[in-house]
Amino acid sequence: MPGKGGLQLTGKLGEVIRESAQIGLSWVKAHAYELGITKTPEEQFLTDRDIHVHMPEGSIGKEGPSAGTAILSAFVSLFTNTKINPDIGECGSFLFLLGMEANTSW
């Protein structure tokens, strides 16, 4: 949707999962060139669009970092137009320290 590169999250979400989604989008923006999303490392990505992610409430509120890799994978899939194998399930957090990928569970 038109915007300024922001992320809107709706649904019954806890703070940690909100942070995971924000970090995931930031990581994709920072690695857009390596992912083939931009044509040059200097090219800005999502400067005129916002992303809206809605996670329906269901019976249990969503909280914790365990959806981090799934959210990150969804963003990469969306922006690179790459399908994720439907037979793969994901659960795990990710942590970035000093710009390096420190712990990724795929």
Residue ranges covered by each domain of the chain: 7-104
- pTM for the whole structure: 0.77
Tell me, which fold does domain 7-104 have in CATH? Answer: Ribosomal Protein S5; domain 2 (3.30.230)
Contact 69, 93 (CB under 8 A): yes
The confidence score (pLDDT) of residue 102 equals: 45
Please state the φ and ψ torsions of residue 13, each to the nearest 5 degrees: -120, 140
Q: Which of 84, 65, 64, 79 has the alpha carbon at shortest distance from 30? A: 79
The pLDDT tens digits of the residues spanning 25-54 come to 999 999 999 999 999 999 999 999 999 998
The confidence score (pLDDT) of residue 58 equals: 60
The pLDDT tens digits of the residues spanning 78-93 come to 999 999 888 887 766 6
For the record, the structure tokens of 8 come out as: 């809107």
